[in-house]
Amino acid sequence: MEAPTCPIPSFSGVRARVFLDVQAEEGVESSWGVRTSEARIFECPASGLRFRLPAPREKIAAFYRSEYHERMGGEEDTRRAEAYRKENQERVGVLKRYAPSGRVLDVGCSTGQFAAQLREAGYDALGCDISEDACRKAAALLGEDRALCGPVESLLDRLRGSLDAITMMDVIEHFDDVVSPLRAMREMLRPGGTLFLRTPTLRSPFYKVADLSYQLSGGRYKDAVLKIYHAEHFFFFTERAMRALLEDTGYEVLAIDPDPLLWENFRSAEMRQGPLVNSVLAAVYFAGRLADRGHGMKVVARRPG
């Protein structure tokens, strides 16, 4: 099969190359409970973007069963819920600097926790998600008319030009197509409206360590790459790739900054591997913090206007 071209419009003439092609009989489970047994990852040599080929939306929807959203801090995991709440509070503060008030849509809202914190901060907050189970729980928290179920681009006619801000916290990497949704979201924003997203970055030391462990083992040790390139992520961004994608879809980029997970969140999600692996994970986490290389990046852009 011929390698695809880069999905970012300004790099659409660049042929991607196979960066990783891994298969394992049993695979490994991600922190969210999704089992990954293969990782065929392409890389654009010009932008650094890495990506999977799109999957049918039915397969994507199957990832996000009830258990997936419960791992984001359900009733049975109060420590995780509190870690998310603390992290979300910092993110509300970031949005306040660019969009102090107004109508906000949280894309990929899950059970509605971040949208609820936006409402507590004074925003007129809505949420949307493709998971029907998540939408039911979000509706119970936000109100029936404030939890919108379906792909974000399906909401364009309803929300066109009506939003002061759109948020996406660890969501864009889950899309099977990033161009059409971003263009639709741009049209939902009022001129001058803010897009605020957070996504993992390939500058993270965790990607470096995973890639190196696979290479140094001659391809025998697969667990680390299968865990970090897990099945429900289709895009893995560099800062350059993110900037190009947003500019190509009609945004003005205002800021791209490192965004490390809070220790409480990282510890509750990842420190479940046994003493030795946990020690390595902690060392990599704090090395990344010292080097100002977060696991993720926070990105703020706006619709020109």
Give pLDDT tens digits for 74-100.
444 577 778 888 899 999 999 999 999
Residues 6+ apart with CB under 8 A from 40: 18, 20, 21, 22, 52, 53
- R_g of the chain computed on alpha carbons: 19
Q: Residue 271 has what pLDDT?
A: 58
**Is a pLDDT exceeding 60 seen at residue 30?**
yes
Residues 84 and 271: beta-carbon distance below 8 Å: no
Write down the CATH number for the domain with range 56-302. Answer: 3.40.50.150
Q: Residue 212 has what pLDDT?
A: 92
Q: Name which of 227, 170, 234 is nearest 199 in CA terms.
A: 170
Stretch among 27-36, 64-73, 174-183 having the lowest mean pLDDT = 64-73
At residue 137's C-alpha, the angle toward residues 236 and 196, to 5°, is 35
Q: Name which of 59, 69, 205, 235 is nearest 137 in CA terms.
A: 69
Q: Residue 66 has what pLDDT?
A: 57
**Is a pLDDT exceeding 90 seen at residue 264?**
no
**Is a pLDDT exceeding 90 seen at residue 178?**
yes
**Is a pLDDT exceeding 90 seen at residue 62?**
no
Residue of 64 and 163 predicted with greater confidence? 163
3-class DSSP assignment, residue 206: helix
**Section 131-158 average pLDDT:** 95
Sheet order of strands, 189-200 included: 147-149, 124-129, 103-107, 163-169, 189-200, 296-302, 252-259
Q: At which residue do the structure tokens 């007129």 appear?
A: 124
Q: Residue 33 has what pLDDT?
A: 73
Q: What is the mean pLDDT of the chain?
A: 89
Measure the CA–CA gap between 147 and 101, rounded to whole angstroms. 19
* Residue 304 main-chain phi, psi, to 5 deg: -55, 145
**Is a pLDDT exceeding 90 seen at residue 226?**
yes
Residues 6+ apart with CB under 8 A from 39: 20, 21, 22, 52, 225, 226, 229
Measure the CA–CA gap between 14 and 9, rounded to whole angstroms. 10
Residues 6+ apart with CB under 8 A from 62: none
**Is a pLDDT exceeding 60 seen at residue 229?**
yes
3-class DSSP assignment, residue 34: coil
pTM exceeds 0.75, yes or no = yes
